[in-house]
Amino acid sequence: METWTEQEQANVRHVRAMFDQVLNALDAEAAHEFIDREYIQHNQAVGQGLEPLQALLRRIRSETPQAVHDIKRIFADADHVIVHCHVRRWPQDRGWAVVDIFRLSGGMIVEHWDVVQDVPEDSPNPLGPF
């Protein structure tokens, strides 16, 4: 974090707290503390704004309450925070390698993109995705 600006450090803290208090806690109600109500969503499986995300979190909590987002690395670039994480729905799930890209403004997440890749059981590459 030494090379990040104060604003980048604040943005990283905000995104880490959102992972802890919203995504890993599966707390849809806490999302409003981190994500703007009108935020722009680029994930094709979720609608625009905060409410569709909250509905998704409620469904995930109901269907897979042990789901986790394990942050492997995090980067900041101006108003963007990029998170590389391992998402698993239950403890033995191979899960997904995910890169989330967040844009922040005024201390809130206002835009989100993600790229998701299955973690394969077998791979010709000896290096894992993390």
Could you list the mean pLDDT of each consecutive 10-residue stretch along the chain, which spans 130 residues? 88 98 97 96 95 96 96 98 98 97 98 97 92
Burial of 124 (0-12, 13-18, 19+ CB in 10 A): exposed
pTM: 0.94
Tokens linked to 17: 């707290």
Tell me, yes or no, whether 126 lies in a domain. no
Q: Are 130 and 103 in contact (CB under 8 A)?
A: no
Q: Looking at the DSSP assignment, which residues form a beta bridge with residue 109?
A: 35, 104
Q: What is the CATH number of the domain that holds 100?
A: 3.10.450.50
Q: Are 81 and 114 in contact (CB under 8 A)?
A: no
Look up the domain containing 92 and give its range: 6-118
Tell me, yes or no, whether 125 lies in a domain. no
Tokens linked to 53: 């995300």
Cα dihedral angle (18, 23, 29, 32), rounded to 10 degrees? 30
Tell me, yes or no, whether 123 lies in a domain. no
| pLDDT at residue 1 in the model | 52
Tell me, yes or no, whether 129 lies in a domain. no
Tell me, yes or no, whether 86 lies in a domain. yes
Tell me, yes or no, whether 95 lies in a domain. yes
- How many domains would you assign to the chain? 1
Q: Are 90 and 70 in contact (CB under 8 A)?
A: no
Tokens linked to 46: 């979720």
Tell me, yes or no, whether 124 lies in a domain. no
| pLDDT at residue 130 in the model | 93
